[in-house]
Amino acid sequence: MSALAIESREISAPRVGRFNVHIQGDLKRSHFAVLTVHDLGCNHAMWANFLNHPSMEEITKRAAFILIDVPGQEDGAADLPPDYTFPSMQSLGEDLVCVLDQLDVKNVVGLGEGAGANIIARFAMAHPNRVLGICLLHCTGTTAGFMESLKDKIMGWKLDQIGMNPAAEAYLVLHRFGSFEKAENKEQLNKVIETFQQSLRQNINPRNLNRLVQSFMKRSNIADNIGKLKGPVLMVTGSKASFNHTVHTLYSHMAMKVDKKHVELLEVEGVANVTEERPEKLAESFLYFIQGLGVIGGVAMPRVRRSSSQDYTENIQLRKRSMSMEEADLPRGIYSTSPPKFGTTPPNMGSSPPRMGSSPEKNESIPKEPVS
The answer to whether position 201 is within a domain reads: no
Per the structure, the complete domain to which residue 57 belongs is given by 6-144+220-371
Task: Indicate the range of 30-44, 166-180, 222-236, 348-362 predicted with least confidence.
Answer: 348-362
Asked if the structure places residue 305 within a domain, the reply is: yes
Inside any domain, residue 50? yes
What CATH number does residue 110 fall under?
Answer: 3.40.50.1820
The pLDDT of residue 180 is 54
In a domain, 206, yes or no: no
Residue 152 falls within a domain, yes or no?
no
Question: pLDDT tens, 58-77?
Answer: 999 999 999 999 999 999 99
Total domains present in the chain: 1
Residues 168-213 have pLDDT tens digits of 777 788 788 775 555 556 676 677 788 888 888 899 999 999 899 9
202, part of any domain: no
In a domain? residue 328: yes
176 φ/ψ angles, rounded to the nearest 5 degrees = -85, -30
Is residue 197 domain-resident?
no
Three-class DSSP labels, the chain: CCCCCEEEEEEEECCCEEEEEEEECCCCCCCEEEEEECCCCCCHHHHHHHHCCHHHHHHHCCEEEEEEECCCCCCCCCCCCCCCCCCCHHHHHHHHHHHHHHHCECCEEEEEECHHHHHHHHHHHHCHHHEEEEEEECCCCCCCCHHHHHHHHHHHHHHHHHCCCHHHHHHHHHHHHCCHHHCCCHHHHHHHHHHHHHHHHHCCCHHHHHHHHHHHHCCCCCHHHHHHCCCCEEEEEECCCCCHHHHHHHHHHHHHHCCHHHEEEEEECCCCCHHHHCHHHHHHHHHHHHHHHCCCCCCCCCCCCCCCCCCCCCCCCECCCCCCHHHHCCCCCCECCCCCCCCCCCCCCCCCCCCECCCCCCCCCCCCEEEC
Q: Select the more confidently predicted residue: 310 or 348.
A: 348
